Structure 1
């Protein structure tokens, strides 16, 4: 082997780690239709949380599309991996070790809602609310919380269906975030006072997150977390629209 060939091989081996660091890692991004946090508009996913996540992807130079599934499928896809980023997901004790948590993407203010004309439904607390028929999204934190408190829940796969069930009298109460309920009513062409909140679910009200499937390398999680911090700082400084 000539000295020139040896020099070329050494140069390639030395450059290899640098090259590897510049390659963008591949990962999927999943969510569910949950206005105003995420919703498909003209083939693009937009919303309070979706826009933030897209800004993070842009900051990283990642061209991964945001995939929209029913919540139960999005949840299982992220839980099983490999290397799947999910948003907007509530962080609970049960889920703590099932995902690798990146950071907050939105706030979450959850109440039980009834039809405005059902004035007889005025629960003093969750135990009292259990006297009525309560609906809940399949595999959702709100449903899980209610069931853990001993409340029977009639499940549905889509919260738009849940609203239809509430308005149609098939359920008496429905848990929902305030912003999400207002947006859902608007999309249905209904006035904002068509339903009213009767009981706040303090235990599950709080931030919503983006999180990775548990098989994701810590270096990737940290990289996306750093990007989220940069994007937030840009928003605060007026550096991003």
Structure 2
């Protein structure tokens, strides 16, 4: 009957759509697997993601001309390609790096019985927003900027830090692999990870610092792939004359 015919065509359309060589469809993953036979996995993902975004642009233009539904599909494909590329870029940049490579070593701590005014002073004196709360050289909590603002609003500057700190927080060893540490605490609040040993707090890892590390590592790897252009003789003479 008509219902079964329509149902069959819907399934065929979905199967064909899933084979489009763009993330997050299976066709994009098949394309990446094929490209990965000839180039590094991260590079294959980047190429497949760019192709997916090009396809998304085509869908978007067709949607503006013929069917607005294609615009929504274009957004879905574009965002899927961007997410997959960013995720693989992050994993590639962090692969093989220990936590200490991303650790901030110039940091400040507060005591659990310190007044919130102490955290205010440290915040205004620098760029740090989250503070390890330390007792006997060991971390017992983390006070975030949101915690600090909430504490000031509810209890004022004289309230002790321990009343508003996070007692459940992420910790990592300095030689632990960064990717593993982030997989354990990536969705946890607070986002700041305290790096410590059994005897002392060594540093902190923040999302902002992770972002900077990924940016630098990606730039270094792209520089390795791009050959340096030879200096022309005229440029060499001008440089030597300076």
TM-score by length of 2: 0.22
* Structure of larger gyration radius: 2
- Of structures 1 and 2, the one scoring higher in RCO (CA 8 A, sep 6+) is 1
More helix by share: 2
TM-score by length of 1: 0.23
